[in-house]
């Protein structure tokens, strides 16, 4: 594992609050399970009333929120970066860690471009999904996944985007691919080296118990 692994003898109490979807919070759930770290997985119904009350109590009016010994940390990738450093999934050197973070930043830029297509595919908004796939989804995919394919090849086509061990960006991309494949079969088939990252991450033995038992969710 990486050099950033949590070294304290007393593990904090963790509570992750997120909707009952995979979404951008799933990478943090995966990190908890891959590291075998106990945590409270508090799920809020996406279409329920509880979120209206909770929203006012979150740092930025968004989820997920991670509570560490009762202290809140918001923003999905800030949470993922923190947990990855604590549990050893951030990269095996400071430079690898920075490369992983850079890919995470690029993912968020892509996510903003992709979101109109994603929102309709997930049923969060109404719209013409086929038209949005052509106008929004495919151009965003082609730019981002072409870059990921190059990065994965330059890293040796070893099933990781950075270095030679599982990192949080592998998990984030792997889970996102599942969503894209649910929205449109074959959507990322043109990027086999990235798909190999998905396969390796989703077949990591540390995740088997969780992946075998987690609810089947469209996104």
Cα separation, 102 vs 123, in Å, equals 30
Average pLDDT over residues 188-208: 97
Parallel, antiparallel, or unpaired for β 65-68 and 71-74?
A: antiparallel
Bridge partners of 71, per DSSP, are 68
- How does residue 8 score in pLDDT terms, banded at 50, 70 and 90? low
Q: Do 169 and 104 meet the contact criterion of CB atoms below 8 Å apart?
A: yes
Cα separation, 41 vs 102, in Å, equals 28
Q: How crowded is residue 209: how many other Cβ atoms within 10 Å of its Cβ?
A: 11
pLDDT of residue 2: 47
The yes-or-no verdict on residue 210 having pLDDT over 50 is yes
Q: What is the largest CA-CA distance in the chain?
A: 54
Main-chain phi, psi angles of 32, to 5 degrees: -60, -45
Structure confidence by residue, pLDDT tens digits, 18-76: 999 999 999 999 999 999 999 999 999 988 899 999 999 999 999 999 999 999 999 99
Q: Which residues of 26-38 are buried (b: 16+ CB within 10 A; e: fewer)?
A: bbbbbbbbbbeee
- How does residue 1 score in pLDDT terms, banded at 50, 70 and 90? very low
Structure confidence by residue, pLDDT tens digits, 168-184: 999 999 999 999 999 99
CA distances from 93 to 28, 35, 144, 167 (A): 21, 19, 25, 12
Main-chain phi, psi angles of 42, to 5 degrees: -95, 110
Average pLDDT over residues 85-94: 97
pLDDT of residue 48: 85
Average pLDDT over residues 72-94: 97
Structure confidence by residue, pLDDT tens digits, 123-143: 888 999 899 999 999 999 999
Omega before 64 cis (within 30°)? yes
pLDDT of residue 9: 65
The yes-or-no verdict on residue 149 having pLDDT over 90 is yes
Cα separation, 1 vs 4, in Å, equals 8
Cα separation, 212 vs 107, in Å, equals 27
Class of residue 60 by CB neighbours under 10 A (exposed 0-12, middle 13-18, buried 19+): exposed
């Amino acid at each position: 594992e990486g050099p950033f692994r949590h070294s304290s003898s007393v593990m904090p109490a963790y509570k992750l609050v997120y909707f009952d979807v995979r979404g951008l919070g799933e990478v943090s759930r995966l990190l908890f399970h891959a590291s075998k770290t106990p945590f409270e997985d508090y799920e809020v119904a996406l279409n329920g009333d509880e979120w209206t009350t909770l929203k006012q109590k979150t740092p930025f009016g968004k989820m997920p929120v991670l509570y560490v010994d009762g202290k809140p940390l918001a923003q999905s990738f800030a949470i993922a970066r923190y947990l990855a450093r604590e549990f050893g999934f951030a990269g095996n050197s400071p430079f690898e860690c920075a490369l992983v973070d850079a890919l995470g930043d690029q993912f968020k830029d892509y996510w903003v471009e992709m979101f109109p297509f994603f929102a309709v595919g997930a049923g969060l908004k109404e719209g013409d999904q086929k038209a949005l796939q052509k106008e929004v989804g495919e151009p965003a995919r082609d730019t981002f996944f072409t870059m990921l394919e190059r990065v994965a090849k330059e890293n040796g086509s070893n099933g990781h985007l950075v270095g030679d061990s599982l990192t949080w960006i592998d998990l984030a991309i792997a889970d996102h691919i599942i969503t894209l494949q649910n929205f449109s079969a074959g959507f990322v088939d043109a990027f086999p080296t990235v798909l190999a990252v998905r396969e390796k991450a989703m077949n990591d033995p540390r995740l088997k118990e969780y992946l075998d038992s987690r609810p089947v969710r469209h996104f």
